[in-house]
Structure 1
Amino acid sequence: MNDVVADFNTRHYAACDGAITVKAIPIGSGQSMQQIVNGTIQPDIWSPAGSVWLTLLNTQWQQKHGSNLVGTGATDALPLVSSPIVIAMWKPEAEALGWPQKAIGWSDIASLSTDPRGWAAYGHAEFGAFKFGHTHPEYSNSGLDAVIAMNYAAVNKVRGLTTAEVNTTTTKQFINNVESSVIHYGDSTGFFADKMFGGGPSYLSAAVLYENLVVEANDGKLYPHLPYPVVAIYPKEGTFYSDHPFAILQASWVTSAKQTAAQVFRNFLLDQPQQVKALHYGFRPANQQIKLAAPLDSIHGIDITQPKTLLPIPGADVVQAIKTSWSQQRRKVNVMLILDRSGSMAATVDNVSKIEAAKQGLQEFINLLGDNDQLGLTVFSDQADILSPVSQLGPKRKDLLNRANNIFAMGGTRLFDTMSEQFQALQQTPSKNIRAIVILTDGVDTDSHTKLDGLLQQITAKGEDAGTAVKMFTIAYGRDANENDLKKIATSTGAQEFEGNPQNIKEVYNQISLFF
């Protein structure tokens, strides 16, 4: 989009009130939908990754305003480009499952996820455990499409999925089986691609991605040191296209001049030169007259004759039932929250108390996790205090919220020692859950015996099952935090570093919760 938008803006196309300028803002499908519904953004054009989001947006807009925000006519949301939802897998591992002679699907993923022998069941003990990933279905298109496809596969249907079928014990168990091998979730399909292709088979065996990301992985430019080629598995039970619909919103803020300008931009995007350009990025053009050619080929790990079976998007009630069921069947988490309460946290930034805002962020995170998740809370200054050990959240949620509310700032910054201790404790606790630490700090270490190099040596994910190691998500809270050190710490465990401040800290904790 950056490429074609820049091209469009240099051409000075005009509508009824003058030259047209387009500003493209990248936001995830689910996040942008919620922001539109909440009124925090007012785009003129909305292009989520898949058409399922149009139905969900209209449903929520209907409930709030009594009308559709996206037209339902044949030309109201034309696809711009498409890319099938696939299971990206390392070629040797796909071959161990019988690819390409054997069609592979969700039933194979469910079996592999629950087999205690892991890859040894297929004669390859050296691959270790099966490590799987997909994004959070509440916020990401690929994650939502994957979970919908799993539900179709569970009942052996390719259309006509019902809420009753979604809610059966058999279907829920099937979803639970697939989810049992997930190493974490997330809000970005691109983030999963980076983690899989950067971390190798020890980090992820397979992940739900878009076909174009498989093409991108194999072209050697973005990931020049892949250990093996990657192949696209088109689930035998059926899948979806990520079709990037172009929706001109039927909203009060979209004037007739903007509607006309948007139509000019849409026609430009669907014109042949732009559609041919889509091929170069690994997408299938929406214009069916354009022949699929390199890099859409087997050399880049894909099969243009696939997918054989396309699944229809269920109604909004079925999609909601699927999301509710997934929230119950998703892989649970053991997470220790760590908060820096050193003296510097008593300061105010733009009239907002750092410690009070951080406490509100903690409470936001606590409320976002489920009753069956395992959660703990540790605070540190010049010593560490475990306010609550990692244990089931449901029975202690109210108490934990109260404890978080009573934290006050004092003392120094015993950062690395606290990280090391909690990492060891979580690592040594047997569990089938995702294991993670979320730590917020506003300064540099002043009171630890552990040094950064020693900490990194201890926590770096390594071995054939590096993807299942304890993840350490770090929050650099304000300008005085050492962002470089925190980024090294997070990256070494396969997690992510975030920049926070008193104004955005709730949003940061919300983002981190999407990994679980």
Structure 2
Amino acid sequence: MAANRHRSRHRPAPARSVVPAKILISALVVALLAGGGYVASTRLLNADGASSDCPDTVTLTVRTGPAVSGPLTQAATGYNEARHQVLGKCVRVKIETVDSGQTALALASGWTEEKYGVAPDVWLPESMSWVAMARMTEAGARNVGTDGTIVASSPVVLAMPRPMAEALGWPDRQLSWADVRANENAADFWSGRGHPEWGGFKVGFANPETSSAGLAAVLNVVASTVGQPSSSLTQAQFSDDLATKGAILSFERGAELVAETDPDLVSAYAGWGKDAPTHMSALVLPESLVYQANVGTLAPAAGGDDDETTGLPPAAVPLVAAYPTDGLVVDEAPYQPLALPVGSERAAAAADFLTALTGPEGQAALNAGGLRSPDRTNAKLTQELGLVPALRTEPRSVLDGKTIDQARRTFLGIHQRGNTLAVFDTSGSMSLLVPTDSQHRTRLRIAADAAEAAIPLFAKDSQLGLWQFSTNLNGTKPYRELVPIGPLNEPVNGVPRDQALITAVNAMKAKGDTGLYATALAAYQELTAHYQPDRPNQVVLLTDGRNDDPTSALTLPQLIQKLKALYDPKKPVEIITIGYGADADQDALRQIAEATGSRSYPAQDPSNIFQVMVSALTDR
């Protein structure tokens, strides 16, 4: 798994100037609100910068995700300006912006300060899905505690540039998840509708690791593909079911953009300016960010302090929202105090800020940022802005945390661009016919057909190479390079690498013995020498037999010892082994894989080799 996949969006506040002692300064504080205008107040500061009527302050740290950060920061700014007090002390709310998936995993793991830093006082994720994931362990359930209070909501919508939506009949015609699944990356979609200048039907969404909207997209595309409601999907489907993995794979590979966060997706769209329709046909977004994109809200920078603002102008081409009838997800943002001592100052501060957020001023600030109230209404969300003020009633539907986590992990395995060396056994036993195959194919032919079907599933910016092995293929060496490791989007001797790989796979011939141990060691050394940071580096080794190379004295214990000595946790390279058929030495293959922190996949039925390959390449 690639290192540093999670990036904190929190930036430390800039240093503040110190006012000389005994000098009182009247400071005008202006906060731009999401709906425009400003609020001003005058503070008298003493020598250390504290308010003269608030000599003591209790700081309440509230952590949220990027999609809610802007409106919540504005609500916190208004709250801080009002100088709320609890137990004789002024309360200052500090907003942290950290991906909610990252926070959920930290809570689920038990949260240690050594690993995750100081825990926030309150967690306010964009969706109850993240709370479910945090609670998937006993430690997480203790950390999160009882159900929080919903303070805002926002449906997940399929946003389209207004000209495109109107060309499809919006607002009467609404885009669905089935439409996305059926038309994603269709090159002639717009030319068939009178707009060849718009190109194909391109989709953008945010990474489900960080985005509840991106997670909803994956769940609903899978549900549309397998023909069942997203609420009935299971952990086992995401870990084991090929149709489910195939749906995610197709969705990810067909996307024009998989952004790191929802705001990143909006920023990319806005950055394309008037050319936006040529870049994207549909964006999966929280409705609140569609509103912000259209009105040009000056939203605070992710992770900024409560008086720090940056933002974007209104999108050159406004977006309109479709509310899919085949799976409308309404994300609800819960206010979750985290294990605060009863009667403490921070517990009192948390309760006071909650009262403010659910009150008229707090709700007005959240609504001004495009979020709906807990009752799912917001009068600012008008059809003129491409939205609807009153949302149709939908029951809350949240999957269990383990299913959500597995869906994210499966997406990660598919989304990561790997550095992969495929190593195929071409020993004589691979020429045996498979008795259960109706086409009377050999083991090697079935494996080659599976590889030919799997190669197009690799993203074009993945790196892939190919070896074969038996015995005496290169002098006394049992292995031979067929295609060197390199990016699929770069040619090999003037031929596209993916085509070179397919040609080489189909040209393999079966003969000789099985030089398994020497090949495994050499392949591991080769990929270690071509290590790529921030990618999964993996040898995928497939064999139908056991080591019987007469030219090599290397034993299994020696191989395992060498692999463990070569393994570098800072630059991890894994050997994924696939035991092909009933004669494969499954125990040796398991030991080889485990020596590099990986897994072995038995394929007892050779006709299932494609499914096993897909699982091996997508599991993380």
TM superposition score category, shorter chain reference: 0.5 to 0.7
Residues 398 and 22 (structure 1), Cα distance of their counterparts in 2 relative to 1, 3 Å cut = farther
Task: Say whether the 8 Å CA contact 1:195–1:203 is kept in structure 2.
Answer: no
Residues 325 and 334 (structure 1), Cα distance of their counterparts in 2 relative to 1, 3 Å cut = closer
Cα distance, 1:82 vs. partner?
Answer: 1.4
* Equivalent residue for 2:232, pick from 139, 142, 160: 160
Task: Say whether the 8 Å CA contact 1:112–1:119 is kept in structure 2.
Answer: no
Task: Say whether the 8 Å CA contact 2:162–2:320 is kept in structure 1.
Answer: yes
Does 2:373 align with 1:299? no
Partners of 2:263 and 2:192 in 1: CA distance: 31
Cα distance, 1:162 vs. partner?
Answer: 3.1
Cα distance, 1:236 vs. partner?
Answer: 1.8
Secondary structure of 1:142 counterpart:
helix
Deviations 1:388-422 (A, max 9, x none): 6325999977634434599xxxxxxxxxxxxxxxx
TM-score, normalised relative to structure 2: 0.51
Does 2:302 align with 1:232? no
Residue of structure 1 in register with 2:400 after alignment: 315
Residues 104 and 126 (structure 1), Cα distance of their counterparts in 2 relative to 1, 3 Å cut = same
* Equivalent residue for 1:119, pick from 145, 168, 190: 190
- Aligned identity (percent) is 26
Aligned length: 352
Cα distance, 1:158 vs. partner?
Answer: 5.7
Residues 18 and 228 (structure 1), Cα distance of their counterparts in 2 relative to 1, 3 Å cut = closer
Partners of 2:314 and 2:389 in 1: CA distance: 25
* Equivalent residue for 1:260, pick from 337, 340, 348: 348
Secondary structure of 1:263 counterpart:
helix
Partners of 1:326 and 1:67 in 2: CA distance: 25
Partners of 2:150 and 2:346 in 1: CA distance: 20
Deviations 1:237-263 (A, max 9, x none): 1232232211001268x8833222211
Does 2:214 align with 1:143? yes
Partners of 2:528 and 2:259 in 1: CA distance: 25
Does 2:334 align with 1:245? yes
Does 2:299 align with 1:189? no
Task: Say whether the 8 Å CA contact 2:176–2:323 is kept in structure 1.
Answer: yes
Q: Greater Rg, structure 1 or structure 2?
A: 2
Task: Say whether the 8 Å CA contact 2:187–2:199 is kept in structure 1.
Answer: no
Cα distance, 1:204 vs. partner?
Answer: 2.2
Secondary structure of 1:216 counterpart:
helix
Structure 2 residue runs of 5 or longer lacking an equivalent are 1-71, 298-310, 421-456, 465-483, 489-497, 502-519, 534-620
* Equivalent residue for 1:53, pick from 130, 133, 143: 130
Cα distance, 1:137 vs. partner?
Answer: 1.0
Partners of 2:106 and 2:235 in 1: CA distance: 27
Deviations 1:400-447 (A, max 9, x none): 4434599xxxxxxxxxxxxxxxxxxxxxxxxxxxxxxxxxxxxxxxxx
Partners of 2:151 and 2:230 in 1: CA distance: 25
Cα distance, 1:180 vs. partner?
Answer: 3.4
Cα distance, 1:98 vs. partner?
Answer: 3.6
Higher RCO, Cα 8 Å, sep 6+: 1
- Greater mean deviation of Cα atoms: 173-182 or 130-139: 173-182
Residues 233 and 287 (structure 1), Cα distance of their counterparts in 2 relative to 1, 3 Å cut = closer
Cα distance, 1:70 vs. partner?
Answer: 1.4
| Counterpart AA for 1:248 | P
Residue of structure 2 in register with 1:402 after alignment: 529
Secondary structure of 1:24 counterpart:
strand
Does 2:204 align with 1:204? no
TM-score, normalised relative to structure 1: 0.60
Task: Say whether the 8 Å CA contact 2:205–2:283 is kept in structure 1.
Answer: yes
Partners of 1:335 and 1:128 in 2: CA distance: 31
Aligned Cα RMSD in Å? 3.5
Partners of 1:227 and 1:66 in 2: CA distance: 43
Q: Compare the two structures and name the one with the higher strand fraction.
A: 2
Task: Say whether the 8 Å CA contact 1:119–1:129 is kept in structure 2.
Answer: yes
Task: Say whether the 8 Å CA contact 1:45–1:249 is kept in structure 2.
Answer: yes
Task: Say whether the 8 Å CA contact 1:84–1:307 is kept in structure 2.
Answer: no
Residue of structure 2 in register with 1:272 after alignment: 360
Task: Say whether the 8 Å CA contact 1:159–1:311 is kept in structure 2.
Answer: no
Partners of 1:202 and 1:396 in 2: CA distance: 44
Does 2:101 align with 1:4? no
Secondary structure of 1:88 counterpart:
strand
Partners of 1:335 and 1:225 in 2: CA distance: 40
| Counterpart AA for 1:211 | E
Residue of structure 2 in register with 1:356 after alignment: none
Partners of 1:177 and 1:264 in 2: CA distance: 47
Deviations 1:2-49 (A, max 9, x none): 222122223333333633222111112123334454531311111111
* Equivalent residue for 1:43, pick from 93, 115, 120: 120
Residue of structure 2 in register with 1:218 after alignment: 294
Deviations 1:476-516 (A, max 9, x none): xxxxxxxxxxxxxxxxxxxxxxxxxxxxxxxxxxxxxxxxx
Task: Say whether the 8 Å CA contact 2:340–2:347 is kept in structure 1.
Answer: no
Deviations 1:322-374 (A, max 9, x none): 224434555x75899xxxxxxxxxxxxxxxxxxxxxxxxxxxxxxxxxx9555
Residue of structure 2 in register with 1:389 after alignment: 486
Does 2:92 align with 1:21? yes
Partners of 1:396 and 1:119 in 2: CA distance: 47
Deviations 1:224-243 (A, max 9, x none): 57443310111221232232
Task: Say whether the 8 Å CA contact 1:334–1:390 is kept in structure 2.
Answer: no
Residues 219 and 231 (structure 1), Cα distance of their counterparts in 2 relative to 1, 3 Å cut = same
Residue of structure 2 in register with 1:178 after alignment: 251
Deviations 1:55-77 (A, max 9, x none): 111224x2xx38521123xxx41
Cα distance, 1:198 vs. partner?
Answer: 2.0
Cα distance, 1:112 vs. partner?
Answer: 1.1
Partners of 1:249 and 1:116 in 2: CA distance: 49
Residues 122 and 111 (structure 1), Cα distance of their counterparts in 2 relative to 1, 3 Å cut = farther
